């Protein structure tokens, strides 16, 4: 495993080691001791979503017990985004976007205190999230995917959204919620 810095130091690209041979490839997706030694985890919950091409999920965050997420793509491809919502952070309101594709040997570490979302660029895409805290539906919040103040350069123009994601507040609304 190799950690690659992004423009926000807390968000990391994890490059996995692959072992190819005549049968195919073996890749270790997670090892508790290695990832914890790298400051990633500990984890308590795994989730999987499958989404069609042009679906955009997010930007989501959990206000109580913020979740860190180790994101992997099992099929298809996504553009994965992390937005810093940590109130005392030098990078508050900044975002990182990373293309992840099944079989590319990469994961994205989205630490607690970040909103997370992704757009499917080659689908259907199956996405695995290994989370540091359990999902709490009554403490979910989010940020509008196309907030002009964030200016995220999504690779999809007319995304398919859930009814909830279509009416999320702007970044300023999510920050007000976090500070109350």
Q: Is 79 a catalytic residue?
A: no
Query: Which pLDDT tens digit goes with each residue over 30-66?
Result: 899 999 999 999 999 999 999 999 999 999 999 889 9
Q: How far is CA 140 from CA 67, 117, 168, in A?
A: 10, 13, 11
Query: Which pLDDT tens digit goes with each residue over 114-127?
Result: 999 999 999 899 99
* Residue of 60, 79, 116, 135 marked active site: 60
pLDDT higher than 90, residue 175: no
pLDDT higher than 70, residue 180: no
Q: Where are the domains of the chain?
A: 2-179
Q: How confident is the model at residue 29 (pLDDT cuts 50, 70, 90)?
A: confident
**What is the average pLDDT value for the chain, to the nearest integer?**
93
Which three-class secondary structure string do you get for 125-169? EEEEEEECCCCCHHHEEECCCCCCCCCCCCCCCCCECCHHHHCCC
Q: How confident is the model at residue 97 (pLDDT cuts 50, 70, 90)?
A: very high
Average pLDDT over residues 167-180: 75
Q: How confident is the model at residue 15 (pLDDT cuts 50, 70, 90)?
A: very high
Query: Which pLDDT tens digit goes with each residue over 60-77?
Result: 999 889 999 999 999 999
Q: What is the Cα 26 distance to its own chain's centre?
A: 24
Q: How confident is the model at residue 177 (pLDDT cuts 50, 70, 90)?
A: low
Average pLDDT over residues 21-30: 89
Q: What tokens does 155 get?
A: 């690779």
**Predicted local confidence at residue 72, as pLDDT:** 97
Query: Which pLDDT tens digit goes with each residue over 127-141?
Result: 999 999 999 989 999
Q: Is 60 a catalytic residue?
A: yes
- The CATH classification number of 2-179 equals 2.60.120.10
**Predicted local confidence at residue 176, as pLDDT:** 62
DSSP track, the chain: -EEEE-SSTT-EEEEPPEEEETTEEEE----HHHHHHTT-----EEEEEEE-TTBEEEEEEESSSPPPEEEEEEEEEEEEEEEE--TT-TTTT-EEEEEEETTS-EEEEE-TTEEEEEEEEEEEEEEEEEESS---GGGEEE--TT-TTT----S-SS-B--HHHHTPPPHHHHHHHHH-
* Residue of 22, 79, 128, 129 marked active site: 129
């Amino acid at each position: 495993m190799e950690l690659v810095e992004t423009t926000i130091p807390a968000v990391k690209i994890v490059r996995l080691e692959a072992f190819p041979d005549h049968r195919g490839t073996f890749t270790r997706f997670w090892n508790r001791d290695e990832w914890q030694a790298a400051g990633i985890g500990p984890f308590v919950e795994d989730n999987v979503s499958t989404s069609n091409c042009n679906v955009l999920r997010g930007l989501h965050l959990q206000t109580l017990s913020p979740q860190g997420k180790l994101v992997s793509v099992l099929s298809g491809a996504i553009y994965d985004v992390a937005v810093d919502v940590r109130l005392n952070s030098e990078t508050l309101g900044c975002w990182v976007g990373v293309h992840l594709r099944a079989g590319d040997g990469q994961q994205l570490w989205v630490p607690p205190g970040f909103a997370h979302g992704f757009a499917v660029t080659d689908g259907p895409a199956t996405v695995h999230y290994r989370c540091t805290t359990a999902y709490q539906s009554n403490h979910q919040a989010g940020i509008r995917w196309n907030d002009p103040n964030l200016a995220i350069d999504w690779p999809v123009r007319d995304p398919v959204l859930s009814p909830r994601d279509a009416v999320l507040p702007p970044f300023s609304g999510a920050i007000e919620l976090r500070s109350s």
